[in-house]
Amino acid sequence: MPRPNLYYEERTPSPLERVWLEFNRNPLARAALYIIIFILILCIFGPWLTPYGPNEQILDAISLPPAWSDDGNIRFLLGTDELGRDMVTRIIYGARYTFGYPFLVVLASAAIGISLGAIAAMTVGVKSSTLKHLLDVLMSIPSLLLALIIIAITGPGLSNALLAIGLVLIPQFLHVTRNAIHDERQKPYVTASRLNGVSDMYLLSMVFFPNIVKVLVIQLTIGLSIAILDIAALGFLRLGAQSPTPEWGSMLAQSLEVAYITPWVMALPGIALFLTLVSVNLVGETLRIAIQKQLER
């Protein structure tokens, strides 16, 4: 039995609750969130879920179409490629390379970039306009081009590609953190804590950080989307993950030769990549809307 509400109390939901409400309001956004959680689970538990190894060749099943077509075999739900490797297995393993590693790389470069940005913002007087101009220039050069420069020096390979993407993302986090702290600097609540005589460390961690964490979360999703796309693009250009690795981008590159005979070998990694990117972008977008609404209240 529902209780009548006796008091006219206005309960403001907490910031996290409000984000959840925003996700609840939009079914597509919730679906995107579930897809990301699903991919994360695949990244972690993938090897236990798959019946075959990622590079295991089943020689009596070469270039089988997906199971629902007439020539398909239920043993291979999404068919096999031209070397007789199971597509489901390869795509599940690929989630690690295309989503898992970029995710870790983004976290690492966020940690470095945010702390550097905080230091840059807290040290007033040091030629901060020089830093700003330099960062502006660095930000104007596209991330893939910067990654290409780094790979040109270190040579192609998955670990070099990951390193390159990580290095490229650090200035972006630095820039965002620095700007966010600069915007908050002049606000009365910061002045109040300054007058209280708190230390810089306290100011940073207890005063600034809770107020800029929203901006950082949004930047995190943007960075993740950039990292996934760039890793896949590098894989596709054969500069990232190399041939037998089941990374989605390099799977697409390998499928070029057979795309006309067995189109599913090309379509499936692409669909996986597309779904991942749409979900990351949609979750980022919803977070942005939710935070904007909170600011407007």
Partner 1 sequence: MRIYVLRQLVLLIITLFLLTIFAFCLSYWFPGDPVTNSSGIFSDDTMRYADAASSRGFDGNILVQYWHYLAHLFRGDWGISLLDSDPVFEQLQLRFGATLEIAVLAMLIALVPGVALGVLSALNFRKPIDHTILSMSLSGYSIPVFWFAQIAILLVAVRWGMLPIAGQINPLFNIEAVTGSILLDIFINQPENMGLAFRSAIRHITLPVLVLSVMPMMLLIRLTRSSMLDVLDKNYITSAYAKGLSTRRVISSHAIPNAMQNVIRELGSLLSLLITNTMIIEVIFSWPGIGSWLIRSIYERDYPVIQGGLLLIAALILCVHVALNLIHAWRYPQVRKDLHATS
Span interacting with partner 1, options 56-64, 80-88, 152-160, 183-191, rule CB under 8 A: 152-160
On whether the CB atoms of residues 50 and 89 are closer than 8 A, the answer is: yes
Residues 209-228 as x/- pattern, contact with partner 1 by CB under 8 A: ----------------x---
Residue count (the chain): 297
Strand, coil or helix: what is 239? coil
The token pair at 8 is 């006219």
CB of 11 or CB of 297, closer to partner 1: 297
User: How big is the site for partner 1, counted in residues (CB under 8 A)?
Assistant: 41
Strand, coil or helix: what is 42? helix
Q: How far is the CB of 139 from partner 1 (least distance, A)?
A: 8
Number of H helices, E strands in the chain: 12, 0
- The answer to whether 231 contacts partner 1 (rule: CB under 8 A) is no
Query: Footprint of partner 1 on residues 245-274 (CB under 8 A)?
Result: 249, 252, 256, 259-260, 263, 266-267, 270, 273-274
CB of 133 or CB of 187, closer to partner 1: 133
Q: What is the C-alpha separation between 51 and 111, in angstroms, rounded?
A: 37
Span interacting with partner 1, options 16-24, 137-145, 196-204, 207-215, rule CB under 8 A: 137-145
Please report the sign of the dihedral spanned by the C-alpha atoms of residue 162, residue 164, residue 169, residue 170: positive
Name the nearest CA neighbour of 226 among 93, 43, 103: 103
CB of 87 or CB of 233, closer to partner 1: 233
